[in-house]
Amino acid sequence: MKKLIILAGVTLSLLFAGCGEKQKETLSVIPVPLQVDLQKGTFRLNDQTWLWVDAPQQDRMRLEDYMAGSPLLLVSTLEEVEDNAVIIQQVDQLPGVTSPEGYVLTVTPKNVKIQATSGAGLFYGIQTLLQMVNDKNEVPVGTITDEPRFAYRGIMLDVSRHFFDLDFVKKQIDAVAYYKLNRLHMHLTDAAGWRIEIDKYPRLTEFAAWREFPTWKEWWNNGRKYKEEGEKDAYGGYYTKEDIRELVAYAQEHYITVIPEIEMPAHSEEVLTAYPELSCTHEPYKQADFCIGNEKTFEFLENVLTEVMELFPSEYIHIGGDEAGKASWKTCKLCQARMKKEGLKDVNELQSYLIHRIEVFLNAHGRKLLGWDEILEGGLAPNATVMSWRGTEGGIKAVKAGHRAIMTPGEFCYFDSYQDAPDSQPEAIGGYLPLSKVYSYNPIPESLSADEAKLIYGVQANLFAEYIPTPEHLEMMIYPRILALAEVGWSAPSRKDYTDFHARALKAVEELKASGYHPFDLKNEIGNRPGADKPITHLAIGKKVTYGPDAAYYPGYSAGGDSALVDGIVGGWTYGDKRWQGFIDKKRMDVTIDMETETEIHFIGADFMQVCGPEVFMPNEVIISVSNDGKEFTELKRIEHKVVKDDKVTFTNFAWEGDAKARYIRYQATSGEFGGFLFTDEIVVK
């Protein structure tokens, strides 16, 4: 497969300070380097420019091959050269650089020199050089000293929900390596399909890799059945062992480590239908969790992991560990016997038993265990690293216990959310995560001490693919948000500036398009929901709010508490922005506002949202009433609304308009037949 190398070029602001030599110049490089000292002048590349790589043989061959595929068209030589040359040189030490992935790039009128203490550092220096070359093949004179903030900078691709072939994954490696990411986490197994060949268990790819219906959504809503490979209308696929070897080698050429994820104990419906004896009930299509009381479960997992480790040389093996239902463990005789034998007090400790045991197995083979933050439940395995996705709490807890953590909270790092106005985008799982919010993330929580902060290993973007059925859609969800995450992971906070980054990202989007990618069209971004950019004013701002009996808001979606519905803060495109107040299931919303004095009122209204996937629905009835004594209320309007499920993210204002005088305003809303959440952001009174 032909390598795709994106050639960015350099943006120049030719401003000079007096007659000095220093040139104030803005580099269009992503991620922004640590130190940039540019001078007046340029080095011009031409068809006689030499390439000399002075590095250990494996790195030299990788870098020469990579440069041969670049647009620079350099003439490679084994002899030391100085004039009209690009010199790539590994050294024992480098002043001002503490990371092996750091580099110093020096440009003079006669040559370019990249120095680093490792092949990876040289590779990242090359990426900066490629982004600096302008359309005249010129590079500005000066020195760049650069190194990453975090050692781990990753992206997770979900190839289970929708399968993406080898060439497509390699294409993404080309791009993310260009922006200095160094980990590719492959979500290889889940209910929707097993995606890796395992010799000892052929049914995993003969059967568990194939399903009815081409999209996850159709499959999920229509019985969730699997099919035999080759059967009519069997959708799916898997990577052969040869595919994996090729992928791992290709990633290594780009200084990227591929981390495999084999889900356990949950998200395993496909395994437990192919091999039902590994579930608590031994029935296909009945279980998602492995039976931890069954020794055959551990025989299976260890056999699978043995074959996985033969293919992936990564330090870490990801074992999932998230969202286990655990229901069958409470009644399973084998699980209960295991708990009694091991002195486990609950099913959380039973899960921890599996995690500990698998970690011992991985450690014995020279590997480390990595898992989602649920692996903390019941006690964390001694040497495990936690990937914190349910916010930052899991990472903080792991670090304070002396473990490494990789920060990947959904609020900032889940790229399956909408990145612009939902009605302008293909269907997504929900949420709203624009480029600016990704860029704003700081992976080190303020609550950590300096020593604890050192255990934050890095940051990762996650792209689960339930609602992403095509390669083009997947790329739209990745780019340009991964560029923001790359800068979060690499660049010093003091070097970050969103206005400057946005300009560089606009340029990068056009370059990605020219290189055959399908990024989100950033220049036409709509932005957040109207009204969400600044506070609004109305008559009820700051007034006292009380909630009726059995009408309390859900603590996880308080939006700031009792005053949230009269604080002037309008919600954005997602209830996850902490501006929407939520009411769960059949509980009604029943809110009374004390206007303090009798007030002329002409409008009372509130917005609600509907996102059916996560069970967020419109109300089926709204009642708006007023009172002067707070006891006897006069109904102004009763609104009946039939709740209909759909695939959209929608917003509706339920309001009364007219003429009234009152001190107290009561706003009630009830859920319909589907239950779920009611979400509202502000009760506006005019």
Q: What is the pLDDT of residues 55-69, one digit of tens each?
A: 999 999 999 999 999
The three-state DSSP-derived secondary structure of 363-391 is HHCCCEEEEEHHHHCCCCCCCCEEEECCC
Q: What is the pLDDT of residue 381?
A: 85
Of 447, 441, 527, 537, the C-alpha closest to 491 is: 441
The pLDDT score that the predictor gives to residue 343 is 97
Which residues, including other chains, have CB under 8 Å from residue 530's CB and lie 6 or more apart? none
Q: Exactly one of 323, 452, 525, 594 is catalytic; name it.
A: 323
Cα atoms found within 13 Å of the Cα of residue 382, Cβ hemisphere only: 5
User: Do the Cβ atoms of 604 and 656 come closer than 8 Å?
Assistant: yes
Residue 583 pLDDT exceeds 70: yes
Provide the token pair at 137: 């093949």
The CA–CA distances, whole Å, from 337 to 266, 340, 560 equal: 20, 5, 46
In this structure, are 123 and 185 located in the same domain? Answer: no
Residue 9 maps to a domain: no
Q: How many other C-beta atoms are found inside a 10 Å radius of the C-beta of residue 10?
A: 20
Evaluated on CA atoms 358, 362, 364, 365, the torsion sign reads positive
pLDDT at 12 over 60: no
**Could you tell me the CATH number of the domain that includes residue 32?**
3.30.379.10
**Which CATH number is 172's domain given?**
3.20.20.80
pLDDT of residue 617: 95
Assigned domain for 535 exists: no
φ/ψ of residue 364, rounded to 5: -65, -20
Q: What is the chain's Cα-based Rg? A: 28
Secondary structure letter of residue 423 according to DSSP:
G
Q: Token pair for residue 52?
A: 């000399």
Residue 198 lies in a domain: yes
Determine, yes or no, domain membership for 538.
Answer: no
Query: Which among 125, 146, 167 is the end of a domain?
Result: 146
Burial pattern 149-176, b for ≥16 Cβ within 10 A else e, equals: bbebbbbbbbbbbbbbebeebbbbbbbb
* Separation between Cα atoms, residue 397 and residue 409, nearest integer Å: 14
Residue 87 phi, psi dihedral angles, 5° rounding: -110, 120
- Please give the pLDDT value at position 378: 87
CA distance 107 to 127: 15
For Cα atoms 541, 547, 553, give the angle at the middle one, nearest 5 degrees.
Answer: 95
Tell me, yes or no, whether 309 and 451 share the same domain: yes
Q: Give residue-wise pLDDT tens across range 44-94.
A: 999 999 999 999 999 999 999 999 999 998 989 999 999 999 999 999 999
For 462, the token pair is: 């996650």
> Which residues fall within 8 angstroms of residue 549, CB to CB, at 6 or more apart?
590
Q: Which residues contact 536 (CB under 8 A, 6 or more apart)?
A: 568, 570, 682, 684
Q: What is the pLDDT of residue 267?
A: 97
Q: Which domain holds residue 210?
A: 152-524
Host H or E run for residue 347: helix 347-364
State whether 445 and 466 are in the same domain: yes
Same domain, 590 and 657: yes
Q: Considering the candidates 147, 190, 253, 590, report the single residue annotated as catalytic.
A: 190
Tens-digit pLDDT profile for residues 101-149:
999 999 999 999 999 999 999 999 999 999 999 999 999 999 999 999 9
Domain boundary among 491, 524, 557: 524
Q: Are residues 645 and 569 in the same domain?
A: yes
> Which position has the token pair 């219906």?
213
Same domain, 580 and 482: no
Q: Is 185 a catalytic residue?
A: no
Residue 343, judged by CB atoms within 10 A of its CB (0-12, 13-18, 19+), counts as exposed
Tokens of residue 69, six digits: 């595929």
Q: Strand 589-611 to strand 649-670: parallel, antiparallel, or no bridges (unpaired)?
A: antiparallel
Identity of the amino acid at 105: L
323 tagged catalytic: yes
Please answer whether residues 223 and 285 qualify as being in contact, where contact means their C-beta atoms are separated by less than 8 angstroms: no
Residues 133 and 241 in one domain: no
The secondary structure of 110-129 as a DSSP string is: SEEEEEESSHHHHHHHHHHH
Q: What is the pLDDT of residue 4?
A: 53
Q: Per-residue pLDDT averaged across 361-365, rounded?
A: 97
- 198: which 2 tokens? 């395992």
Whether residues 575 and 613 share a domain: the answer is: yes
Name the phi and psi angles at 55, rounded to 5.
-155, 165
Say if CB 181 and CB 124 are below 8 A apart: no
Lowest mean pLDDT among 152-161, 246-255, 609-618: 609-618
User: With bands split at pLDDT 50, 70 and 90, how would you rate the model's confidence at 14?
Assistant: very low
Domain boundary among 464, 492, 524: 524
Q: Is residue 389 part of a domain?
A: yes
H-assigned helices in 368-521: 393-400, 410-413, 435-440, 450-453, 471-478, 481-490, 498-514
HSE (side-chain half, CA atoms, 13 Å) at 228: 3
Record the tokens describing residue 29, joined without a space: 């490089």
pLDDT mean over 378-390? 92
Identify the residue with better confidence: 1 or 334. 334
Provide the pLDDT for residue 586. Answer: 63
Pick the range with the lowest mean pLDDT from 177-181, 182-186, 403-407, 645-649: 645-649
Residue 95 has which token pair? Answer: 């002043």
Residue 380 is predicted with a pLDDT of 86
Q: What is the pLDDT of residue 16?
A: 32
Q: C-alpha 118: how far from its chain's center?
A: 28
> How many whole angstroms separate alpha carbon 128 and alpha carbon 142?
13
- In this predicted structure, the answer to whether residue 23 has a pLDDT above a threshold of 60 is no
How many domains are there within the chain? 3
Whether pTM exceeds 0.85: yes
Q: Which of 127, 138, 99 is nearest to 12 (CA)?
A: 138
pLDDT on residue 587: 65
What's the average model confidence in pLDDT over 141-166? 98
Residue 293 has pLDDT above 60, yes or no: yes
> Does residue 141 sit in the same domain as residue 267?
no
**613 domain residue, yes or no:** yes
What is the average pLDDT score of the chain?
94
3-state secondary structure of 618: coil
The residue whose two tokens read 């957040």 is: 528
**Does one domain contain both 163 and 282?**
yes
pLDDT higher than 60, residue 22: no
Q: What is the pLDDT of residue 130?
A: 97
CATH of the domain at 580: 2.60.120.260
CA distances from 634 to 352, 399, 606 (A): 57, 56, 19
Residues 578 and 519 placed together within one structural domain of the fold: no
Decide if 190 is catalytic. yes
Residue 18: pLDDT over 50? no
Quick check: 541 pLDDT over 60? Answer: yes
C-alpha 433/C-alpha 236 separation (Å) is 29
Helices 166-178, 241-253: axis angle to 10 degrees equals 20
584 and 463 in a common domain: no
Report if residue 318 sits inside a domain.
yes
For residue 8, being part of any structural domain is answered with: no
Q: Mean of the pLDDT values across residues 387-401?
A: 95
Alpha helix positions (H), 69-142: 119-132
